Amino acid sequence: MASEGVAAEAAPSEPQARHIIYCGVCTLPPEYCEYGGTAKKCKEWLEKNHPDMHEKLYSEEAVAATLSTLSVDAQKRAAKDSQKKEAKAAAAEAKAAETKAQAQVLIKRVERNKRKYVTAVSGLEAHGMDLKKVAKEWGKKFATGSSVTKTASGGEEVVVQGDNSDEIFDWVVDVAGVPEANVDCIEDKKKKSG
């Protein structure tokens, strides 16, 4: 019986799950952030949220140790590649900021029947908003039907039943953070037949 207790203790236990830290910017483990396009932001996030891991990966000793394993040519290529990646990431970031600053949000009030209106909003996706989530939120907020529809030009717009153009304008400026200069309100009337 005593030998059974010793055997039970010596038997391997269940494998334990590892706790892995994932980057809050690129969602990769920090060891692989350098292969993504946002290495600089990842490094800042890691330094802020996990200073011990940042020290382990980016301290002078760690960088020197990894560079010492490379040949002279490989070190030069690695330096060039890192500079190219940083320049590319900075250019992409600047381009995204520029397109976001220039993107227009159009709020159209369209007359359906006599005094019935629908409000169509286009251009929200350029500001990084998920149109389905926005449509659902507006449907709840205004207690009306709201959906995402495709436009004739191939884009998508959020259509809300009722004349909610003023409230939507306020929401787009306040909640979404779109500058007032980039939001246009348009009123469309159907042409009378006859």
pLDDT tens sequence for the chain (194 residues): 555 555 555 556 788 888 888 888 888 888 888 777 777 788 888 889 988 888 888 777 777 777 677 677 777 777 788 788 788 878 888 887 777 777 788 888 888 887 888 999 988 888 778 889 989 998 999 899 999 999 888 888 999 998 888 888 888 888 878 888 888 888 776 555 44
Distance separating alpha carbons of residues 172 and 123, to the nearest angstrom: 11
Identify whether the C-beta of residue 37 lies closer than 8 Å to the C-beta of residue 85. Answer: yes
Distance separating alpha carbons of residues 166 and 118, to the nearest angstrom: 13
Convert 31-63 to b/e letters by CB count within 10 Å (16 or more is b): eebbebebbebbbebbeeebeebbeebeeeeee
pLDDT given for residue 194 in this prediction: 41
- Helical axes 39-49 vs 51-58, angle rounded to 10°: 130
